[in-house]
Amino acid sequence: MSRFWSVRRNADAVLAVTLLSAVTVLCILVPLFWPLDPARGVLAATFRPPMSVVNGQLHPLGTDQLGRDLLARLGLGTAISLGIVLLAAVISVVTGTLLGMIAGYFGGWIDIVVMRAVDVQLAIPFILLILLIVAVVGPSIGNLVLVLGVTGWAVFARVARARTLEVRELEYVEACRAIGVSDAAIIVRHVLPNIVGPQTVLLTLDLPRLIILEASVGFLGLGVQPPTPTLGNLIGEGRSFILLANWLVLYPGLVIGALVVGCNLLGDWLVRRADNRAS
């Protein structure tokens, strides 16, 4: 046990938690306590590099083309992006797991329909489908959450189905059926607990995909509309000024990188831990 928890073994997890908590602190503390307004700019102080002082006010990450404080915008933008991504992830996990369990448990034509729908979903590049739907329904935060969430179900359904197929054959499930427990009760009380673990791991590994997708849509200017900041919007707006003010692009990119590396390391670590436990 003590070797299992040795520092070397868990260096990845420590780094992951450090990165993720740094981002969490940024997106909670900055919107709450940083005194500068992310929407209000000082036109006399545009494109100030990081650590500039304007009228006695420090801008740690500099200012943008309208003289708005980048730290304030980055804090709020990260919070909005993370909010969208996490809500979307919940929708993906819930719909995917539910459909996967139903497909695996009942089999037959339900299984065929759900699994072919998974194939269809995975055949269309996510970004293209999301851009298409957002262009039709309009780019509000709510629509973005829905679209990202609904298009992300397929992987979760596939894994939930595979696991359900295994659990369905176990003796205690057999026993439940023999004493007349309803299908719904078996799925919720006996199949679901066996699936929660693997789905959580899958979620950590799927979050980076959602983070990058949300940022890509924002970068293209087709997501949440400015002046609301999101990670992608910030980079998209900063792109026109890279010659003049590359910090506008660099810092939001670092936040995305920290989030994605953090999630990937955490996910890999969870997978390894599950493997160790199994063996």
Residues 117-136 that bind other proteins (CB under 8 A): 117, 119-120, 122-129, 131-133, 135-136
Q: Which of 94, 141, 260, 274: binder of other proteins (CB under 8 A)?
A: 260
Q: Which of 167, 191, 265, 270: binder of other proteins (CB under 8 A)?
A: 265
CA distance 235 to 30: 19
Regarding 22 and contact with other proteins (CB under 8 A), the answer is: no
For other proteins (CB under 8 A), the number of binding residues is 39
CA distance 137 to 143: 7
Regarding 243 and contact with other proteins (CB under 8 A), the answer is: yes
Of 195 and 265, CB closest to other proteins = 265
CA distance 26 to 29: 6
Residues 58-97 that bind other proteins (CB under 8 A): none
Q: Contact, 248 vs 193, CB < 8 A?
A: no
Residue 5 phi, psi (nearest 5): -95, 15
List C-alpha distances in Å: 42 to 32, 101, 179, 218: 21, 55, 72, 25
Residues 198-217 that bind other proteins (CB under 8 A): 208, 212, 215-216
Least separation in angstroms between CB 62 and other proteins: 15
Burial 8-17 (b: 16+ CB within 10 A, else e): eebeebeebe
Least separation in angstroms between CB 248 and other proteins: 10
Q: Which of 261, 271, 272, 273: binder of other proteins (CB under 8 A)?
A: 261
Q: Give Cβ neighbours of residue 174 (< 8 Å, ≥ 6 apart).
A: none
CA distance 12 to 225: 36
Of 261 and 274, CB closest to other proteins = 261
Q: Which residues bind other proteins (CB under 8 A)?
A: 116-117, 119-120, 122-129, 131-133, 135-137, 208, 212, 215-216, 219-222, 235, 239, 242-243, 246, 249, 253, 256-257, 260-261, 264-265
